[in-house]
Structure 1
């Protein structure tokens, strides 16, 4: 216990007065329109999204987006549509746990049109970490009966997470890849030989941090090994984080945000590193909507992580970043309340980027425990 303690921002705290009241009102209206759009796309089983493989993670992101605006789960008489929708989705996510503790799995996955062994391997640990994050964030907001179900599910999910962290890794890359997480099973040598990557690892670290916030047992060794892996992904010469250690060319804004956020969530304090990453955040704004700075970048995913990282750093970094960032998203919201499909993954539809856009706009609200500084 006690392994994950957030550190204060480098430029703590942010000055929210730099956002004028008119912009705050526009942000709130935009977020409410986005939530209304997502609500209209919920399936009868409580899920959201297009592909069966991705639905558990997309559903969890949608619910966290609603909670970030202050909607709490409830199915009591008189509860709002948003509150009832979160309950439906919560029950759906709880139903998507495999016997070994893996979250985000359902029998429908195996018969879906986009199922392949590689896709299953690739998406399941994303599903697992994002669903785990949602369950631990919502744990203290639910009725006792559902809280008990969440407790059982999260304990099993944490055990699965640790088994994945301790999985077999080829001896020649053991020192490089140990401590992190990636896809389930061994890597395809025809694609790459990474056993861990920062993208999956950052979601897992958020899950672990949220679980500890909620009172679950997260041993120190898990966090220590995870942070060691994240630090190996950092490139001091460029002040960026790569997809994997030793691959600085595989850096994106999303990975910069993910790596920076991991430092704060695990209590790592390195002023020089934080100064470099803060400078990079300010040097690479999001003023060109849905624009990829390189072919590896996912725009909305990157916006989500950078917005969280800027909030954690605080001060001048957040104050320079957030107002123009919010304007970009306000000006590019569709009339129906959605945001455009991810330019790199249009097949995921518009609910997914809409959830990420809301989560990128709402860190200042400080309503999700994982966002709190």
Structure 2
């Protein structure tokens, strides 16, 4: 097993190393070692059964020898005392002992609660701002019904934030504003608790996120990076450490972890080491891609830009602003002539790559970075080229047929670029997504699920309830529960297995289960109306 490198240069503190706790080793003692019971009465033992040196004993223990002359004097006094005095003293001691026994053996006072019908009706309990009905006939519910709500325990004493005070996410082409900058604040503890309750997150979804992050932590390389090939099952032939690391960081940051998080939390060390390694991969133009399939070049750039813009938006650390802005500028500079992006700089466009860049630019706006308005305007022109069914469905490239994954991706782009909540094209598209819910039967498409989850989450209401009722059951129920790959999702049967493998599918699954709080809602109409 390769030894993990525990030293790294922190972006904030320079060259250094974080202290690593020594493992606690428990060994069987040799038979010649005296047991605690065999130890001398004068020996003092610690909790491990080891003798404590006499020079480490408290002062009152060593003072015992100085008090021995006084005890000898007391013994002489008892021997010379009259019999009646000794008898009276003994009777007094017996009375005191009986009194103590009576006090300590009294029956404890208890409170008896009785449940019985009442003539008056009390107030109904409210389940939350959103009613999330469950299909109790779904057999998958049985698989998670016994799950302990451990992950939600961290929010049990967290003060929630009133839903009315949560801003909506400004969209469209206007310059970045305060609501956009606040859109990453859902990852903060109080806001996270409110959004989880409002949008139907459960203990099972949070447990699944926690297990997924643990799997990622275990598979981080000694250099701080991840890669798509990995040492895990179902990797792919292409490493592409930059894309893999960007995807892993998005998962950790979605749960609220940054290099400025609690230094005692192991996940803080994970993201700190990863960011130090990844930022060294960015070149002077802002580009991150260096190795892997050439067709992954701009995918890699968009993914790393999303992660970096989120990092700056969450921390407001000026050290990250310059590289984040440089990455955004590179994204704008490689936009194709049709307004989209494809595999290589400044050529054509396809909706798959373009969708990642829309997310990157939106993340930049969320962080308050500069995004050229012309770049955003040209994206709308490209989306028009891949529009079908009047705008409710989309194709991969202009002139091609509709695809569910591209429809979800196209609709999300339209939401971020300013379509209103009640736009007929958007509602018709969301209706179609609700007819194609996540299922583990047959061929799966985590890529489609990822984009559809975001679209329906922003739509809220019936579209979100229908989608979430299925997603929040299916994903936790099919997470690997034991063995080396515990916490991941098996890519077998998923369209993403061939080009992304286990790490890719696992990251997308984590993103979906973080959807409740990763980004603030765009519209927030249903929450405010109480529906």
TM-score range relative to shorter protein = 0.7 to 0.9
Question: Could you report, residue by residue, the CA deviation over 1:343-372 in whole angstroms, capped at 9, with x for unpaired residues?
Answer: 3343533222111101011111x2446989
1:27 aligns with 2:212: no
C-alpha contact 1:180 1:201 (8 A) present in aligned 2 = yes
Structure 1 residues 261-281: Cα deviation after superposition (integer angstroms, max 9, x where no partner):
111111133711111111111
Q: Is the 8 A contact 2:480 2:489 kept in 1?
A: yes
1:316 aligned onto 2:462: yes
The superposition leaves residues 250-297 of structure 1 with CA deviations (integer Å, 9 ceiling, x where unpaired) of x333212211111111113371111111111111111235724xxxxx
- Cα deviation code 1:92-122 (max 9, x no counterpart): 22122123221233xxx2xxxxx5xxx31x1
Q: Kindly tell me: are residues 317 and 226 of structure 1, through their superposed partners in 2, closer, same or farther at Cα, counting changes over 3 Å?
A: same
How has the CA–CA distance of structure 1 residues 138 and 369 changed in structure 2, closer, same or farther, with 3 Å as cutoff?
A: farther
The corresponding residue for 1:47 is 225
CA distance in 1, matches of 2:523, 2:246: 19
Measured at CA, do residues 214 and 334 of structure 1 come closer, stay the same or move farther in structure 2, by a change above 3 Å?
A: same
Contact 2:437 2:467 survives alignment (8 Å): yes
Alignment of 1:266-285 (within 5 A): 266-269=417-420, 271-285=423-437
Deviation at 1:15, TM superposition (A): 10
> Which residue, 78, 90, 97 being the options, matches 2:282?
97
2:408 corresponding residue in structure 1: 257
For the 8 Å contact 1:49–1:352, the answer to whether it is kept is no
Cα distance in 2 between the residues matched to 1:49 and 1:133: 18
1:62 pairs with 2:234: no
Q: Deviations over 1:54-91 (max 9, x none)?
A: 3222222222212222333337742x111111111222
Query: Do structure 1's residue 305 and structure 2's residue 451 form an aligned pair?
Result: yes
- SS of residue paired to 1:100: coil
Give the corresponding residue for 1:356.
508
Q: What is the CA–CA distance in structure 2 between the aligned matches of 1:326 and 1:75, rounded to whole Å? A: 27
Secondary structure of the residue that 1:45 maps to in structure 2?
coil
> Deviation digits for residues 316-348 of structure 1, max 9, x if unmatched?
100011121121112211121110126334353
Q: 1:60 to 1:372 in 2, by over 3 A?
A: farther
1:182 touches 1:200 (CA, 8 Å); kept in 2? yes
Q: Distance in 1 between matches of 2:245 and 2:385?
A: 32
Map 1:1-373; keep pairs closer than 5 Å. 2-3=174-175, 19=200, 24-51=202-229, 53-74=239-260, 77-78=263-264, 80-105=265-290, 109=291, 115=292, 119-120=293-294, 122-142=295-315, 144=317, 147-148=318-319, 150-165=320-335, 178-184=338-344, 195-236=348-389, 239-247=392-400, 249=401, 251-269=402-420, 271-288=423-440, 291-292=443-444, 299-335=445-481, 336-341=486-491, 343-347=494-498, 348-364=500-516, 366-368=517-519
CA distance change for structure 1 residues 238 and 151 in 2, over 3 Å: closer, same or farther? closer
TM-superposed deviation, 1:208: 0.8
Task: Compare CA radii of gyration and give the structure with the larger one.
Answer: 2
Between stretches 263-272 and 48-57, larger displacement belongs to 48-57
| Between structures 1 and 2, the one with greater helix share | 1
Equivalent-residue separation in structure 2 for 1:129 and 1:137 (angstroms): 12
Q: Which residue of structure 2 aligns with residue 173 of structure 1?
A: none
8 Å contact 1:39–1:85 — kept in the other structure?
yes
Q: 1:41 to 1:318 in 2, by over 3 A?
A: same
Please state whether the residue corresponding to 2:396 is helix, strand or coil: coil
Distance verdict in 2 for CA 1:15–1:137, change over 3 Å: closer
Q: Report if aligned partners of 2:456, 2:463 keep a CA contact under 8 Å in 1.
A: yes
- Give distance in 2, aligned partners of 1:370 and 1:59: 27
Unaligned runs of 5+ in 2: 1-172, 181-194, 230-237, 525-531
Using the TM superposition, give the Cα deviation of residue 53 of structure 1 relative to its aligned residue in structure 2, in angstroms: 4.8
1:341 is paired with a residue whose SS is coil
Deviations 1:181-225 (A, max 9, x none): 1111587xxxxxxx1001111111111111112111112111010
Quote the Cα distance in structure 1 between the aligned partners of 2:374 and 2:253.
Answer: 31
Cα distance change of structure 1 residues 54 and 301 upon mapping to structure 2, 3 Å threshold? farther
**What root-mean-square deviation, in Å, do the aligned CA atoms of Structure 1 and Structure 2 show?**
2.8
Q: 1:96 to 1:15 in 2, by over 3 A?
A: closer
CA distance in 1, matches of 2:329, 2:316: 24
Unaligned runs of 5+ in 1: 8-13, 110-114, 170-177, 188-194, 293-298
